[in-house]
Amino acid sequence: MRQVAIIGAGFSGALLAINLLRYDGVRAILIERRSEAGRGTAYSTAHPEHLLNVRAANMSAFPDQPDHFVHWLQARTGLDGSNFAPRRLYGDYLEEMLRDAERAAPHRLRIIRGDAVDVETRGPVARVKLADGGSVDAEHVVLAIGNLPPGRPGELTGLDLDAPCYVEDPWQGDLGAGLTASDTVLVLGTGLTMVDVVLSLVARGFEGPIVALSRRGLIPHAHADGLPTAERRERPPVRPSSLVRALRKRSREVPWRAAIDELRPYTADLWRAMSVHERGRFLRHLRPWWDVHRHRIAPGVAAKLDSLRQSGRLTIIAGKIETATRDGSGLSFRVRVRGGEAIVEQRAARLINATGPQGALARAHEPILRSLRDRGVLREDPLGIGIDVDQDTRAIDSDGRTSPALHVIGPMTRGAFWEIVAVPDIRRQCWSLARRLSREHWVEGTGL
């Protein structure tokens, strides 16, 4: 029986394994260094305040079973598809599915607790090397490493930063440990990671002021309740400037949220149709606005942020750090406010990096990525936002050749697919790859 080795058992890796077990002929080997398989970083949170950013109705793990998560959620909590469920509950859902799959086919799923550090291809077989000296052989290897932690921003280069005054990875530990109500926390970034950081600080009892800083000061918009649906009747334009004009026009006809959401069926095709130059222009000029309009937050979460801002607990600043220096046990900053010459002096007892996951392969610290990159097995995509892959998720090496054995799934393939960070997009990628590796894609319908 053919084997598929999957490196990483977060959402992408676990879901690929589950999908592989839905078909015959393939054995899945999940390699995960964390103690829990099936959750990953996003769904390991213990905070009930951390909610899904998508309604439960669109969070099924399977594109061919759209109500799968809703039925699971209703049976356990009574919540329906209109709710934004806690992320830890979604982690329970994934973990339970993986356990069920393992029980149903124990001879076809193996979970290895370990750290994969390299992959070597030897003819028709690839070998995954583990940190403990062991190895796993498989016909196909899939990198499902999820998001990389944030990288240190350039404006902090050369600054003597260490714990506890600086937190580079906001997903590790208690962010407010050791702080008092008289301390200020500066959060670098104002996107979805900032939202989680603020909710975590407040949930842990931090009562001091929080200042969030980004170049444009944009924060995610909220989903609307009872939004009427809309459907595009014509393909949107490809050029970024034309797309913006079309969206503005459409937003005068239907609510802007509907105008954004109805692009979902076209997004991947639009991205593929753009030249590298046009994609680069989109990233430089439009991405911040796309992110806050497209990747929205639950209304209840938005209400909490509004309350914190109105009370003065949370301040959003649009600007950039001019200088940063150590100041005793904390840090002092000079911030140039956007749109003028004004300089704001800001002291913080703690700086938390919430700039979001990095994608640059050249800056990755993961041993397996360093090894594969240095040997030319992987290369960075042309935009520097992930790993270069073809439309079938096959890795592209430094000479431009696609690998027959090595695949990449999840957020690190954003250079090829762009919208590949949320469950609705990743689930289809995993489902499609599982069908190809199981040779089920030759038939039109599953089970025929």
Inside any domain, residue 158: yes
Q: Which CATH number does the domain housing residue 36 bear?
A: 3.50.50.60
Domain assignment present for 104: yes
Q: Could you give the 3-state DSSP secondary structure of residue 103?
A: helix
Angle subtended at Cα 50 by Cα 303 and Cα 410, rounded to the nearest 5 degrees: 120
Residues 219-252, buried b or exposed e (16+ Cβ, 10 A)? bbbbbeeeeeeeebeeebebbbeebbebbeebee
Q: Are residues 101 and 8 in the same domain?
A: yes
Reading the chain (448 residues) residue by residue, the pLDDT tens digits are 789 999 999 999 999 999 999 888 799 999 998 877 777 777 877 778 889 999 999 999 998 899 999 999 999 999 999 999 999 999 999 999 999 988 888 899 999 999 999 999 877 789 999 999 999 999 999 999 988 888 888 777 777 777 788 898 888 878 999 999 999 999 999 999 999 999 999 998 999 999 999 999 999 999 987 655 667 778 888 888 899 999 999 999 989 999 999 998 899 899 999 999 999 999 999 999 999 999 999 999 999 999 999 999 999 999 999 888 888 888 899 999 998 778 989 999 999 999 988 888 888 888 999 999 999 999 999 999 999 999 999 999 999 999 999 999 999 999 999 999 888 899 999 999 999 998 765 444 444 3
**Final residue before a domain boundary, out of 270, 294, 318:** 294
63 and 200 in one domain? no
Phi and psi, residue 110, nearest 5°:
-125, 130
Within-domain flag for 445: no
Question: Which pair of structure tokens corresponds to residue 217?
Answer: 């000061």
Residue 27 and residue 60 in one domain:
yes
Is residue 312 left, alpha or beta, with left meaning phi > 0 and alpha meaning psi from -120 to 50?
Answer: left
Do both 261 and 272 map to the same domain?
yes
User: Residue 235 domain-assigned?
Assistant: no
Q: Are residues 317 and 212 in the same domain?
A: yes
Q: Tell me if 398 is assigned to some domain.
A: yes
Counted domains in the chain: 3
| 232 is a domain residue | no
Looking at the structure, tell me whether residues 308 and 393 fall in a common domain. Answer: no
Specify if 234 maps to a domain.
no
d(CA 349, CA 331): 6
> Is residue 247 domain-shared with residue 394, that is, in the same domain?
no
Q: Omega into 367 within 30° of 0, i.e. cis?
A: no
- Which pLDDT does position 329 carry in this prediction? 81
Q: 175 and 56 in one domain?
A: no
Quick one: 367 and 399 in the same domain? yes
The boundaries of the domain holding residue 179 are: 154-221+297-353
- Verify that 54 and 196 share a domain, yes or no: no
Q: What pLDDT, on the 0 to 100 scale, is given for residue 324?
A: 86
Query: Does residue 442 belong to any structural domain of this protein?
Result: no
Do 62 and 140 fall into the same domain?
yes
pTM of the model: 0.90
Rounded distance, CA 26 to CA 432, Å? 15
Tell me the two tokens of residue 280: 């680069």
Co-location of 142 and 6 in the same domain? yes
